[in-house]
Every structure is written in C-alpha cells, then in structure tokens.
Amino acid sequence: MTRALFREDSYLTSCTAKITEINELGGIVLDQTVFYPTGGGQPGDTGVLRLEDGREITIATTVKGKDADEVVHVPAEGQSLPEVGETITAEINWEVRHRLMRMHSCLHLLSAVLPYPVTGGQVSDGKGRLDFDLPEAALDKDEITEKLNDLISQNRPVSADWITDEELDAKPDLVKTMSVKPPRGSGHIRLIQIEETDLQPCGGTHVKNTSEIGRVRVRKIEKKGRQNRRVSLIFDE
Ligand SMILES: [Zn+2]
C-alpha cells in the first residue's frame, strides 16, 4: 500500500519516497506519495520522480493500482526505469494540480447552489462539470454564476474529516453523487466540509478556503438525455 500524503495535506508538492514495486506495465509504486491518482472525477497528477543520481523520470499520469490503496505513477513513453528499493523525490506539477483543486472545490459549491442529485462529474485543467438528475429544468447561467462567485468571495473555510463506513451508512443523504461512490473499504471515509455550505464524502484534493477558487463562470448548460442537465464551468480570469 502507498501512504496517501495528498489526502493528509493537499498542499504538499513533493516528498521523498522509496520505490516498492515496478509493475508489469512499467508503472512505479512508492511507499508514500504526493501524486493524486485518477478518481472521483479528478485526473491523476503529472510531475517528475527525481533519482539520487540527478536523473528525472517524467510522470504522465497517476492511477490506482490493483488494490485501491496502491498508487501507480505512469512514466511518459521512452523513460528508463529506476530500480526497486531506490529512494527518489516525487514532485507534482503544482500549477496544474492547484487549478484542479480550485475547480474541484468549486464543483462542491455548484452542488450546493443546485441541490439536486448528481449523476456524474469531471474536473480538467481550467474547467469542470456536473451532471444533475433534473427532468424539468429552467436553469439560468447568469444566476448560477452569480451565486457561485458570491460563495467564493465569502472566504468560507474548507476542511476534511473522517467517519466510519457505519456512520456513513447511517447518513445516506451525505452521498450526493450517485455515480461516483465515496472511497471506502478501508473502514474510513473522508468528508469534505465547506462551512455552512456543503458536506459530502470525497477523496479528492481541495483548497483551504473558497476565496482561493477565484472567479468562475457557467460556460454552458446542456441537456444530456431525458433527465440529465450538464452544467459546465470555467475560470473567469
Ligand atoms: Zn471533492
């Protein structure tokens, strides 16, 4: 298993680690990492692994391994692989990750502004979207944009807490996202709280305060199937 340092502190940009395994596809497993693996609608981190002799291995993406506690760093094509047991420094591409954190946290605000069941969601660099189960919809782009920027400007703290699987089972209302199940199995689930705004299970990386998100704007609202409305956001900078 890989110790998930990004889950304890999403602002860590690098760490030292030991290579515990190189899998059959050339994926590199570490004993601990700051790299977030693809999941919950958030893409895996990119960055570099720096070897003690100064060589760098470019990491194209990060994914979960065969068990969910394992994080696999996927090298870009044509990299020479390190040895198991080597100590390296793992460093993420922080500029991209920070934008992902900002947009991911903003999607939590969107789910509070539009309090309907969420059927899917995706964050990518500079944009994000949520799909809502909403058959009769008169959603107004400008109104949603205004409500989001209002919450963002209120400097609301964002914090993480852990509960047990049993506690979550007793509170099914906490699970807003029907298609993205909260990470569980380890007996504990992480809750993300935006003060007086939103509380939901989530394993992704978040900013500390809504003001850090910056201005956003609803780019479009689309009808996806009979019941679904897709609301897409971008940064408004
Ligand atoms: Zn989240």
Query: Domain 97-235 is classified in which CATH homologous superfamily?
Result: Threonyl-trna Synthetase; Chain A, domain 2 (3.30.980.10)
Tell me which of 3.10.25.10, 1.20.1630.10, 2.40.30.130, 3.40.50.970 is the CATH number of domain 3-92.
Answer: 2.40.30.130
The domain limits of the chain are 3-92, 97-235
Residue 211 burial by Cβ neighbours in a 10 Å radius (0-12, 13-18, 19+): middle
Q: Which residues surround ligand 1, an ion (CB under 5 A)?
A: 202, 204
pTM: 0.92
Residue 201 CA to ligand 1 centre (angstroms):
7
CA-to-CA distance for 63 and 36, rounded, in angstroms? 8
50 Cα–ligand 1 center, Å: 29
Residue 231 CA to residue 223 CA, distance in Å, equals 9
Cα distance between the two ends of the chain: 40
DSSP state, 197?
T
Question: Can you tell me whether residue 23 is helix, strand or coil?
Answer: coil
Q: Give CA separation, 226 vs 113, 114, 131, 173, in Å.
A: 22, 18, 12, 24
CA of 81 to the centre of ligand 1 (A): 33
Sheet of 127-133, strand order? 118-124, 127-133, 228-235, 216-224
Q: Can you tell me whether residue 162 is helix, strand or coil?
A: strand
What does each C-alpha distance from 173 to 191, 199, 225 come to in angstroms?
13, 10, 25
Each of the 237 residues of the chain gets a pLDDT tens digit; together they read 899 999 999 999 999 999 999 999 899 999 999 999 999 899 999 999 999 999 999 999 999 998 888 999 999 999 889 999 999 999 999 999 999 999 999 999 999 999 998 999 999 999 999 999 987 768 999 999 999 999 999 999 999 988 888 887 887 777 665 555 555 556 778 889 999 999 888 889 999 999 999 999 999 999 988 889 999 999 998
| 71: nearest Cα among 49, 54, 100, 53 | 49
